[in-house]
């Protein structure tokens, strides 16, 4: 746990730092937000920043977002100044901590940042077998490739490998290759010099240097552009990087863990992923099973999430009823652990009984299924025979010999707008495709990764489409 404390606070800041140190955190102190921003640019990574409310917290958070520095900010101030606390929260701070510091309060803040990545529930035989492999390979520096469907816990497993390795006292740095535009990913990985490109106002240390002595996780590595793959491969082999805009080589000591929810062998065959990079990453391969194949873990995970969200929302913790447990076990969980987590969040909020009852656990209808593979590399034309929700397949038409099935909310028969299908007539496929992409992106609040999964296309295809729409003068929702 790396804590950055920003400000003076009449000596109380030193006491907060001492408490954090006693709790096992590594602490760095900066005089103001400008110094803090410079330290973060230069590789002084932090898992949490505690900032004096007298500092320009809003501007600090805005600068962090502009430079894609992912550090949660907690405001702190002397006494219980409600106005200052509310202002800090509105500007983006996660929490407000009054000073002089309370040891339990500081401990709770530190725990809140670290708890999500520290839990490994793995009672299923398939997971137990994986953990035995992890125990053998974790102490080494071997590169690990973790494969599995979206939402199966690949990042949690990556963090577990780091925490059981000899690098556990070093940083664990994660970067999502699909969430960062191609023209910025190189800078994120390798850093850049001042003036290297438009907007490079100062030198910035990349994730490789920030992870020096620790572990670097490349989430969704399959989405990295082929041209960048060559530079990435060289960095792994030579253990050195070159910042964008520099000719100086910088030695780095990192362990690489990569994840993918796509079939990399197929990507290699299609020329989308370098074969030599694939073999370099695939020293040790771990295949995470989907949640539907881990039935022994479903209830334990559900109870873990229920307890977590009950505590987060200030409500009493409840046991999952036996009927609810059976309902969870029988559900197919297309979204895996991530879907279970969201389901239990709703369940905690909706439950009105002493135990979490089945009615509080709202699941998608069994007929809700994706009509396009999430790994598809191209946009499919809409099916003119019906309108479906989120790519759901229209139900098969009944034959004369078979009784007519009840209408489904995902079939043409249940379309609430009777002119929806007719309104497609006379429009080109490209126009319909454009509207579908932009509307889905708007629905996902600009989240490219989620939109691509709903649409059944790769993140690279989605980016290319959005670049095309921008060139055509269209308004594209920001990420």
Which structural domains are found in the chain, ordered by start? 2-114 (3.40.50.2300), 129-287 (3.40.50.300), 291-360 (1.10.8.60), 427-471 (1.10.10.60)
Cβ-defined contacts of 179-186 (< 8 Å, 24+) = 179/220, 179/448, 179/449, 179/479, 180/68, 181/463, 182/225, 182/228, 182/460, 182/463, 184/68, 185/224, 185/225, 185/228, 186/228, 186/231, 186/244
Which tens digits make up the pLDDT trace of 309-345?
898 788 889 999 999 999 999 999 999 999 999 999 9
CA distance 303 to 294: 15
List the beta bridge partners of residue 216. Answer: 173, 256
Q: Are 273 and 226 in contact (CB under 8 A)?
A: yes
Which tens digits make up the pLDDT trace of 67-116?
778 888 988 887 666 788 888 888 888 888 887 767 777 766 766 655 54
Say what the pTM is. 0.63
Q: Are 325 and 288 in contact (CB under 8 A)?
A: no
Which tens digits make up the pLDDT trace of 448-470?
887 887 777 888 788 888 988 88
Handedness of CA 25, 243, 146, 284 (dihedral sign): negative
What H or E segment, with its residue span, contains residue 41? helix 33-41
Neighbours of 420 (CB within 10 A): 12
CA distance 476 to 479: 9
Place of tokens 């060139």: 471
User: Does the pLDDT of residue 141 top 70, yes or no?
Assistant: yes
| Beta-strand pair 240-242/249-251 | antiparallel
């Amino acid at each position: 746990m790396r804590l950055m404390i920003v400000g003076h606070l009449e000596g109380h800041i030193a006491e907060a730092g001492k408490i954090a140190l006693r709790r096992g955190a590594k602490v760095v102190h900066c005089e103001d937000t400008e110094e803090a921003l410079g330290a973060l640019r230069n590789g002084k990574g932090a898992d949490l920043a505690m900032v004096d409310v007298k500092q320009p917290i809003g501007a600090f958070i805005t600068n962090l977002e502009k430079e894609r520095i992912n550090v949660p900010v907690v405001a702190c101030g002397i006494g219980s100044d409600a106005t200052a606390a509310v202002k800090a929260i509105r500007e983006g701070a996660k929490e407000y901590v009054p000073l002089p510091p309370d040891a339990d309060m500081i401990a709770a803040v530190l725990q809140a940042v670290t708890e999500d990545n520290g839990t490994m529930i793995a009672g299923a035989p398939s997971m137990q077998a994986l953990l035995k492999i992890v125990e053998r390979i974790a102490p080494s520096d071997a590169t690990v490739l973790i494969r599995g469907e979206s939402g199966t816990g690949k990042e949690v497993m990556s963090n577990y490998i780091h925490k059981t390795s000899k690098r556990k006292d070093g940083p664990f740095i994660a970067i999502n290759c699909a969430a960062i535009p191609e023209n910025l990913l190189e800078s994120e990985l390798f850093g850049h010099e001042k003036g290297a490109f438009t907007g490079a106002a100062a030198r910035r240390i990349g994730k490789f240097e920030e992870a020096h002595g620790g572990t670097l996780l490349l989430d969704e590595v399959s989405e990295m552009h082929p041209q960048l793959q060559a530079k990435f491969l060289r960095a792994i082999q030579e253990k050195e990087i070159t910042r964008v805009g520099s000719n100086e080589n910088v030695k780095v000591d990192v362990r690489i863990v990569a994840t993918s929810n796509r079939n990399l062998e197929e990507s290699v065959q299609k020329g989308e992923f370098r074969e030599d990079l694939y073999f370099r990453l695939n020293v040790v391969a771990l295949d995470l099973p989907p949640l539907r194949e881990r039935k022994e873990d479903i209830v334990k995970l559900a109870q873990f999430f229920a307890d977590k969200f009950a505590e987060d929302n200030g409500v009493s913790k409840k046991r999952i009823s036996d009927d609810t447990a059976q309902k969870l076990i029988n559900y197919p969980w297309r979204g895996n652990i991530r879907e279970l987590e969201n389901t239990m969040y709703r369940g905690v909020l909706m439950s009105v009984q002493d135990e979490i009852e089945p009615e509080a656990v709202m699941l998608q209808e069994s007929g809700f299924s994706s009509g396009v593979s999430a790994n598809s590399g191209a946009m499919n034309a809409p099916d003119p025979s019906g309108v479906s929700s989120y790519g759901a397949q229209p139900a098969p038409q009944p034959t004369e010999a078979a009784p007519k099935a009840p209408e489904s909310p995902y079939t043409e028969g249940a379309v609430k707008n009777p002119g929806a299908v007719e309104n497609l007539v006379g429009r080109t496929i490209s126009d319909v495709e454009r509207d579908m992409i932009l509307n889905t992106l708007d629905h996902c609040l600009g989240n490219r990764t989620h939109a691509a999964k709903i649409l059944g296309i790769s993140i690279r295809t989605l980016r290319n489409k959005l670049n095309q729409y921008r060139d055509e003068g269209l308004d594209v929702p920001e990420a």
